[in-house]
Structure 1
């Protein structure tokens, strides 16, 4: 019985180790995330880049963008970035981060590269093919699509799932709906204007109440004086 228990524990450990190894390999991919990203919205895209090499570090990353009107990178110490735009449409088509001399994402490490971009396509998902360059000159293209049977390729393309735009018809832009952003930019009426009107009415009523209260107090004092005299 004890032998059986030891064998079961050993088998479980081996299975657990294999599962962890498999998950580690699966996670060692260039990926993109933007929780709550919506179709037509402006989002902060985070590209997580692990260094898979045991001997070289990541020194550059280029991400292809689907022709976006806006693309602004987050400053990173030791790295500089450049956004490439189409000369005709002026839409952002790619962004490249390059490490300064002596700077890299070393073996066993990962880096996160962020860009605020939009509006995102009106599609269920959007791909961001990426090129990862190592300090030894090796280049890895992350641009492969899943196989027809769903099998993950060796270098899958970073892909982001997009939620439908709100039913109110506005795309997210800087945390505001499209209609709210339009009102703010055009100087149109907003909820703050309504609140200001309500405050004015409240102040008028409050002042009137004070006047009436003062009159009532004066009448009461007059009646008291008359009764004493």
Structure 2
């Protein structure tokens, strides 16, 4: 294969990888969702939950997110992972965690339009033992003062207009996974347990591979040119 064809193939591969990343960002869910990247939270244990918040207003950006835990949940502990440009506040009633609010500092809101989103991670527990799901009512505030409440339960198998984020709770396994999620998140504050981060690492590795291929092609072409010149 000629050098020019190899270079063209490398460029095509790079473009394809970039396109995949853009497509992945573009299909972010159109409403606030609760995601688990790792062990599923167990009943009676602790778990790491990531709220994915897409912006849906064309002329306004998202400046605040508040998630409220349902009555009777009785969470006694919650910790948030720092989000650059955002402040987090944990509300309590006595020893019970009732809500978490993230507020953007000036210039750090989720941009206006339909192409951007942000993820907010927290670790909380112990999870309720008498239910299979944890429903999190979320309120999304925009820079123009609009508030969208994502708090409607799914009924009859149909998704409502503003569904509440829901987390599935696993049965206790007895192997410590419930508490381990909290310990893992607190022990590694420099990591980001999110799908976007996983994708970024994959794309970064692919980019390095493409770069290495390009360097190899260039080096081979240089060596062949030198041999022809010496001959």
TM-score bucket of the superposed structures, by smaller chain:
0.5 to 0.7
DSSP-derived class of the 1:136 partner:
coil
What TM-score, normalized by structure 2, do the two folds share? 0.60
Q: Any gaps of 5 or more consecutive residues in structure 1?
A: 1-19, 177-229
Q: Aligned residue for 1:80?
A: 87
Number of residues paired by the alignment?
151
Task: Check if 1:103 corresponds to 2:111.
Answer: no
Which of 125, 133, 146 matches 1:125?
Answer: 133
Correspondences of 1:60-209 after superposition (within 5 Å):
60-65=64-69, 66-87=73-94, 90-106=95-111, 107=113, 108-122=115-129, 123-148=131-156, 150-166=157-173, 168=174, 172-174=178-180
Aligned counterparts of 1:30 and 1:103: Cα–Cα separation in 2: 19
Q: Aligned residue for 2:8?
A: none
Q: For residues 50-101 of structure 1, what are the alpha-carbon distances to aligned partners after superposition, in whole Å with 9 as ceiling and x for unaligned? A: 00111111100000123311101111111001000003xx111100000001
Q: Structure 1's 39 and 104: CA in aligned 2 closer, same or farther, altered over 3 A?
A: same
Q: Any gaps of 5 or more consecutive residues in structure 2?
A: 1-22, 183-231
- Higher normalized contact order (CA 8 Å, seq sep 6+, divided by chain length): 2
DSSP-derived class of the 1:173 partner:
helix
Work out whether residues 39 and 171 of structure 1, in 8 Å CA contact, stay in contact via their aligned partners in 2: no
Structure 1 position 169, deviation (Å): 8.1
Work out whether residues 40 and 120 of structure 1, in 8 Å CA contact, stay in contact via their aligned partners in 2: yes
Aligned counterparts of 2:166 and 2:175: Cα–Cα separation in 1: 25
